[in-house]
Structure 1
Amino acid sequence: MLRSFQNHIDHNLAFITKGKLLVAISGGLDSVVLTHLCHKLKLNISLAHCNFNLRNEESDADEDFVLQLAEDLDLEVFIESFDTEDYAKNNKLSTQMAARELRYQWFEDLATQLQFDYILTAHHADDNLETFLINLSRGTGLDGLIGIPEINGNIVRPLLKFSREDIETYATANKLKWQEDSSNASTKYLRNKLRHEVIPVLKEINPQILQNVEITQVHLQEISEIVDDTLAEVQKKVVSIEGEIIKFNIKKLLQLSHPKAYLYQLIKSFDFPEINDVYNLITAQSGKHVFSATHRLLKDREFLLLSELTSDISLNQDINYNDKQIQCSLGHLTFEEVEAIGEVSKSVIYVDKDTLEFPLTLRSWQEGDVFFPIGMKGKKKVGKYFKDEKLSLIEKEQSQLLCSGTKIIWIVGRRADNRFKVTESTQHILKIQLQ
């Protein structure tokens, strides 16, 4: 296996031979073999071990084993201890997902702080098959069937072409020692159930299953690239971006051969939990929406509007007489007393400071709000102004009003009020700018 491993590195992963490498090691068979193989090839490696404190004495024994292995091989080693169960509880994660997050967060921190070029993990071909079957059993898109990537950013998996049998044979032939994780024997976890009960039967039926799945995944990867090319063309027709809002044109989407499939591909990176709920927005009334953990998708007439969930820090914010700058959800508002009026725009207005009642208030708009648009006679409802300007529902929600008492000075970034304009009798001019 050592020769095959070296050939694989030389032909496919030669870049790691010149890098500073961090090997993720649990103390189990796979990571111990990866460590020995890298050491044999004289790669520049250090070890990183996570103690998740989930198996009491067994977890501590794994840590001791890794420390001894590092000493025997004269390698630098990093150890981190985690309260995994507490992290899982606080972040509402399964124990397995919590351990995964903690592990990779720490690896990335080490890589950044100590300038490791790559992080090596010991995933192998059987792990890839297990992941394929897990995703298949749960229902997945194309991405879930492509499998574990050999290279993902700075994470490299040099054993992915090798089977568990290859690894066991190498360890036995070289009389290597490793730690057994007792939890791996339990079939209460889906991965273990597949490993112990399903995959052995599949290998019995077809001894070439690992190779065949690998070939299938290569084909799926090629298909995925074709899909990406097609999706890029569709995106030009269906998707537009206005500020921080992504707009999907419903009419153009429905003209596609499989609109639901295209919509899924366009929004999959935002992790909406149920594609049917998303697709049903197309025929829903304006104002209906669905949420992911980070985004909202809103139906607004002929469009679906995607926006990030953010907390609005500017609602009902007071501005005092001497304030020079405040931060709001739209940017920064600056206040400067000037001698004369300069260029006016949507982001810059000039008002008569003596007509203002301090403190001013910055707030969101409400139904029934009325203002006197500068350049017009009479008043107008803010809601009607938004409609005439063809603002989307999200743009309406994000709009802010700068007020003096109950009077609107400015729909920030859009239209000023006539009642506060500078006149010939104005003595103090206040420049207000949105940056």
Structure 2
Amino acid sequence: MFLKFKENITENFNFLSGKKLLIACSGGIDSVVLGHLIKSLDFEMALAHCNFSLRGKESDGDEMFVIGMAKNMEIPIFAETFDTKAFAKKNGISTQMAARTLRYDWFQEILQNFNYDYLLTAHHLDDDLETFFINLSRGTGINGLTGIPPKNGKTIRPLLSFTRDEIESYAQKNGLKWRDDSSNQKPDYLRNKLRLEVLPFFKEINDSVLKNFKKTQRNLQSSKLLIEDYMSLIYNLVVSENDGFYRIDIQKLKDLPNVEALLYELLQGFGFAEWEDVFSLMDAQTGKQVFSKTHKLLKNRDELLLSVIDSDNAVDDFFVPKEGVDFPIKLKIEPIEYVGETEKNLIYVSAEKLNFPLTIRRWREGDSFQPFGLKGKKKLSKFFKDEKISLFEKDRIWLLLSDEKIVWVIGHRMDDRFKVDDNTQDILKITHLSS
């Protein structure tokens, strides 16, 4: 196995050469073998061990074992103890998720604080097959079936092409010692149940299941690359970007075959889970929305608009002195003698009609103003509808106010009450400058 592992590093992970490597080591057979192999290749390395305090003295014994292993190998060791159950309770997550979060957050701290280049974990081919079945049981697309990636940012998994049997054989031949986690023998979790009860049955009826699984993965990876190439063409055809959100042209999308599959591929990276609601949005009324934890998708006439959920959609008022302001937007205010040509980003107002300091803020339900050129008032919500301004665009609009009266719906329309007229003595030019 050593020669095969060395060849794998040379062909697929040659970027590790000369780098400082941090090995995630539980003390189990997989991570012990990985540490031994990396040490045999003479890399600069250290071990990192997490004590999750879940198995009492057994957890403490694992920690002492890994510390001793590092001492025998004459390499640095990082060890940390976590109150995993308390963290899980505080954050309302499962113990497994808590352990994963604590583990990887701590690993990243070590990488950054001690200048290690990569984190190596001991995931192997059997782990990959288990993950395949877990994702399959939960419902997934092709991304969930292509398996654990061998490289994900700074996390490297150089044992993914090796089976558990190969790892066990190497450990035995080299007289390695390791710790057995008793919790791995309890079918309490889905992964353990697969490992202990389901996959042994598959291997019994087909001893080539892992070999065939690798072949299937290669085929899925090829299909994934083909889909990615195709979707780049679809993206350019139906998607446009504007002011921080994405527009999907519904009619252009519907003109293509497999429209729901295309929409899934376009949106699957944004956290949406209720896909039937997403698909039905194409034929929904304008204004209907679907949310993920991070994004919102809006039906707006003949488009779907995708935007990040903005938790900082400010409702605060910001003062604007006579010379203008730089935050949260840039406004320049200057006295002039004559009215020039009106543009979208500037207005001319009567100085004597303003009461400084002015304020700027986001629009609110119930806001109304007197659009320039009209005599009567109009609610902003009606103005936005008439101007065909989408919900996403409305969320980004700022108002300029004087004594709580709207002077300018910035970038759209000024209020007629503040216009320059025959009684105006001093003219102010107010310009919205791009950041």
Q: Which residue of 2 aligns with 1:119?
A: 119
Which residue in the other structure is 2:363 paired with? 364
User: What's the secondary structure of 2:246's corresponding residue?
Assistant: strand
Checking the alignment, whether the CA contact within 8 Å between 2:322 and 2:333 is kept in structure 1 is: no
Q: How far apart are 1:358 and its partner, in Å?
A: 4.7
Q: In 2 relative to 1, CA 293–72 (structure 1 residues): closer, same or farther, beyond 3 Å?
A: same
| Percentage of matched positions with identical amino acids | 46
- Between the aligned partners of 2:285 and 2:432, the Cα distance in structure 1 is 37
Tell me how far 1:3 sits from its aligned partner: 1.9
The aligned length equals 430
Aligned to 1:294: 294
Matches within 5 A, 1:3-402: 3-319=3-319, 321=321, 325=325, 327-328=327-328, 332-334=329-331, 336=333, 338=335, 345-358=343-356, 360-361=358-359, 362-367=361-366, 369-373=368-372, 376-379=373-376, 381=378, 382-402=380-400
Name the aligned partner's letter for residue 40 of structure 2.
K
Task: Report Cα offsets for 1:295-344 as digits up to 9, x if no partner.
Answer: 1111111111111111245314152657953644xxx2445455667886
Query: Are the counterparts in 1 of residues 123 and 160 from structure 2 also a CA contact under 8 Å?
Result: yes
In 2: Cα distance, 1:432 partner to 1:319 partner: 16
Post-superposition Cα deviations, 1:380-427, rounded to whole Å, max 9, x if no partner, equal 623454334321122124323222234210102322223324568444
> Structure 1 residue 242: deviation in Å?
1.3
Q: Could you say if the C-alpha distance between residues 35 and 433 of structure 1 is closer, same or farther in structure 2, counting changes exceeding 3 Å?
A: same
Partner SS, residue 42 of structure 1:
coil
Q: CA deviation at 1:83?
A: 2.9
| CA separation of 1:288 and 1:90: change in aligned 2, threshold 3 A | farther
CA gap 1:340/1:70 in 2 versus in 1, 3 angstroms: farther
Question: Which residue identity lines up with residue 240 of structure 2 in the other structure?
Answer: S
* Cα distance between partner residues in 1 of 2:385 and 2:290: 23
- The letter of the residue matching 1:173 is K
Would you say the 8 A contact 1:251–1:302 is kept in 2? yes
Q: Where in structure 1 are there 5+ consecutive unaligned residues?
A: none
**Unmatched segments (≥5 aa) in structure 2:** none
TM-score by length of 1: 0.91
Give CA-to-partner distance per residue, 1:138-178, whole Å, 9 cap, x none. 21100111001112222211111111111111111222111
* 1:384-423 mapped onto 2 (5 Å cutoff): 384-422=382-420
- Which amino acid is the alignment partner of residue 9 of structure 2? I
SS at match of 2:23: strand
Asked if structure 2 preserves the Cα contact closer than 8 Å seen for 1:318 and 1:359, the reply is no
Amino acid at match of 2:251: K
Q: Distance in 1 between matches of 2:194 and 2:55?
A: 22
Could you tell me which amino acid in structure 1 is paired with residue 399 of structure 2? L
How far apart in 2 are the matches of 1:87 and 1:413? 48
- Residue aligned with 2:17, SS: helix
Relative distance call for 1:106 and 1:349 in structure 2 (3 A) is: farther
Contact 1:185 1:192 survives alignment (8 Å)? yes
How large is the Cα RMSD of the aligned pairs?
2.4
SS across alignment from 1:314: coil
* Kept after mapping to 1: 8 A contact 2:315/2:362: yes
Residues 191-242 of structure 1: CA deviation (Å, up to 9, x unaligned): 0000011111111111111111011000000001111111111112221111
Shift of 1:112: 2.7
Contact 1:34 1:159 in 2 (8 A): yes
Contact 2:320 2:357 in 1 (8 A): yes
Equivalent residues of 1:352, 1:430 under 8 A apart: no
Residues 410 and 151 of structure 1, relative CA distance in 2, 3 Å threshold: same
Contact 2:346 2:429 in 1 (8 A): no
Aligned to 1:433: 432
1:355-381 residue CA offsets vs partner (Å, 9 max, x unmatched): 2235544241435613232xx353462
Higher alpha-carbon deviation: 216-225 or 231-240: 231-240
3-state SS in 1 of match to 2:401? strand
Tell me if the contact between 1:365 and 1:400 (Cα under 8 Å) persists in the aligned partners.
Answer: no
Q: Secondary structure at the match of 1:18?
A: coil
**1:57-107: CA deviations, max 9, x gaps?**
222222221111111111112223333223323333222122222222222
Deviation at 1:52, TM superposition (A): 2.0
Structure 1 residues 243-252 or 400-409, which shifts more? 400-409
Counterpart amino acid of residue 371 in structure 1: Q
CA distance, structure 2, for counterparts of residue 77 and residue 343 of structure 1: 70
- The answer as to whether partners of 2:24 and 2:121 remain within 8 angstroms in 1 is yes
Which piece of structure 1 moves more, 59-68 or 338-347? 338-347
Mark the CA change 1:253 to 1:428 in structure 2 (over 3 Å): closer, same or farther: closer
Distance 2:241 2:91 in 1: 32
Structure 1 window deviating more from structure 2 (5-14 vs 283-292): it is 5-14
